[in-house]
Amino acid sequence: MSFELVVVGGGNMGSALAEGLVRAQWCAPEDLAIVESSLEQRAELTTRLPGVSVLASLELEHVGPATGAVLCVKPNHAEAATRLLAIVGVRRVLSVVAGFPTVRIEAIFPEPTAVIRSMPNTPVLVGKGVSAIAGGSQVTKDDLDWAESILGAVGTVVRVTETNIDVVSGLSGAMPAYLYMVVEALIEAGVHQGLTRDVSRQLVIGTFEGSAALLAQSDKSPEELRSQVTSPGGVTAAGLRVLESRALRAAFLDAVAAAGERSRQLGR
Ligand SMILES: NC(=O)c1ccc[n+]([C@@H]2O[C@H](COP(=O)([O-])OP(=O)(O)OC[C@H]3O[C@@H](n4cnc5c(N)ncnc54)[C@H](OP(=O)(O)O)[C@@H]3O)[C@@H](O)[C@H]2O)c1
């Protein structure tokens, strides 16, 4: 029996994606397979994804002319997993593997194959990710639409050129970590000023969630929302003045540039 889509690697990314696809009714659960090498993880996936085929390996019979695959393994397993996709005759691949360029994937296939590379981020795990996609040399608009519909099941999708994938890695790929660091530092700041850790945590995480929701729902820009809470000579202005004097913006400019450069190095 052949599947419409095969997810290779059922870890954090692969399982979240499979779950999102079932939830969004992207296809019927029986048209979806997930290939996972770990026995323990397969048992968990079987419970978590009723109706989806959880396989130990991909066989020729699982792949028909229309079967697509999503590559969700760690970078050190990516080449071996891609070789298997080439052997069983998959002709359309979406990869979420960091630092694995489309030319390297295309070179593993004996025939021209549509390869789409993406850079998602961890909010994908709760269906609120942001992913960028970029097509390889054989990709049509249909292939990009296909990839967008898959990643769209776990968040929003933007299209970029592959040269910008490293920039995306350093920006939205790494951004959850930047923001968690800001949250961590603010909780600590509340504690330093005398709040209990629990109260500080509730205040900071609640404000973080609320501010993100306000930004998403409002038609105002971040600058407008910020100036709304910054009265002349007031409390927020006093705090922002310190952040400006410590060059917070410049620190983010440098952080995104350094992370993008590291992504470029790892891909070489
Ligand atoms: N997590 C993120 O924020 C994020 C963001 C952007 C991109 N990515 C990319 O997403 C990819 C997956 O990350 P992850 O966090 O989901 O990794 P993960 O949790 O380690 O999941 C990968 C799974 O694939 C299994 N596996 C390895 N080789 C396999 C094969 N040949 N066939 C089938 N299954 C195989 C692994 O089993 P074993 O444990 O037995 O090896 C593991 O369970 C990575 O390449 C990463 O660069 C992740």
Residues 220 and 158 in one domain: no
- In this prediction the pTM is 0.92
In a domain, 170, yes or no: no
d(CA 82, CA 92): 11
In a domain, 241, yes or no: yes
* Chain centre distance of CA 233: 41
- Neighbouring residues of 211: CB distance < 8 A, sequence distance ≥ 6: 225
User: If pLDDT is split at 50, 70 and 90, which confidence band does 128 have?
Assistant: very high
Domain boundary among 165, 195, 211: 165
Q: Which atom of ligand 1 is nearest to the CA of 81?
A: 31
Closest to 104 in 3D by CA, of 249, 268, 245: 268
Domain assignment present for residue 187? The answer is yes
Please write the tens of the pLDDT for every residue from 17-33. 999 999 999 999 999 99
pLDDT at residue 11, as a whole number: 96
Distance 11 CA to ligand 1 centre (A): 5
Does one domain contain both 159 and 197?
Answer: no
Domain boundary, last residue among 109, 141, 165: 165
- Say yes or no: CB of residue 94 within 6 Å of ligand 1: no
| Confidence bin at 133 (pLDDT 50/70/90) | very high
Query: Do 115 and 16 share a structural domain?
Result: yes
Phi, psi of 20 (to 5 degrees): -60, -40
Domain boundary among 109, 143, 165: 165
- 130 & 190 share domain: no
Q: Is the CB of 83 under 6 A from ligand 1?
A: no
Centre of ligand 1 from the C-alpha of residue 75, in Å:
8
Q: How does the average pLDDT of the chain come out, rounded?
A: 96
- Shared domain check, 150 and 26: yes
Alpha helices (runs of H) in 110-247, residue ranges in sequence order: 141-151, 165-168, 175-192, 197-217, 222-228, 235-245
Domain limits for position 221: 175-267
Do 144 and 60 share a structural domain? yes
Mutate to test the pocket of ligand 1, among 71, 73, 128 (most ligand atoms within 8 A of CB): 73
On whether both 106 and 230 belong to a single domain, the answer is: no
Whether residues 133 and 213 share a domain: the answer is: no
11 touches ligand 1 (CB under 6 Å): yes
Note whether residue 199 is domain-resident.
yes
The string of pLDDT tens digits covering residues 142-170 is 999 999 999 999 999 999 999 999 999 99
CB atoms within 10 A of CB 71: 26
Give the pLDDT confidence score for residue 148 in this predicted structure.
98
What average pLDDT score do residues 236-256 get? 98
pLDDT at 266 over 90: no
Cβ of 13 below 6 Å from ligand 1: yes
The response to whether residue 170 sits with its C-beta less than 6 Å from ligand 1 reads no
The verdict on 148 and 192 lying in the same domain is no
Q: Are residues 180 and 152 in the same domain?
A: no
Is 40 within a domain?
yes
| CATH, residue 111 | 3.40.50.720
* The predicted structure's pLDDT at residue 268: 79
Split at pLDDT 50, 70, 90, the class of 258 is very high
Question: For residue 235, what pLDDT band results from cuts at 50, 70 and 90?
Answer: very high
CATH code assigned at 252: 1.10.3730.10
258 in the same domain as 161: no
pLDDT higher than threshold 90 for residue 267: no
The pLDDT confidence band at residue 130, using thresholds 50, 70 and 90, is very high
Q: Which of 58, 55, 65, 60 is nearest to 34 (CA)?
A: 55
Query: How far is ligand 1, taken at its centre, from the CA of residue 218, in Å?
Result: 36
Over residues 178-228, the pLDDT tens digits come to 999 999 999 999 999 999 999 999 999 999 999 999 999 999 999 999 999
Work out how many domains the chain is built from and give that number.
Answer: 2
Same domain for 47 and 141, yes or no, is yes
Q: Which percentage of the chain shows pLDDT scores above 70? A: 100
Question: Sorting pLDDT into bands at 50, 70 and 90, what band is 51?
Answer: very high
| 35 touches ligand 1 (CB under 6 Å) | yes
**Is 62's pLDDT higher than 90?**
yes
Q: How confident is the model at residue 1 (pLDDT cuts 50, 70, 90)?
A: confident
Could you tell me if the CB of 129 is within 6 A of ligand 1? no
Structure tokens at 75: 């970078």
The rounded percent of the chain whose pLDDT value lies above 90 is 97
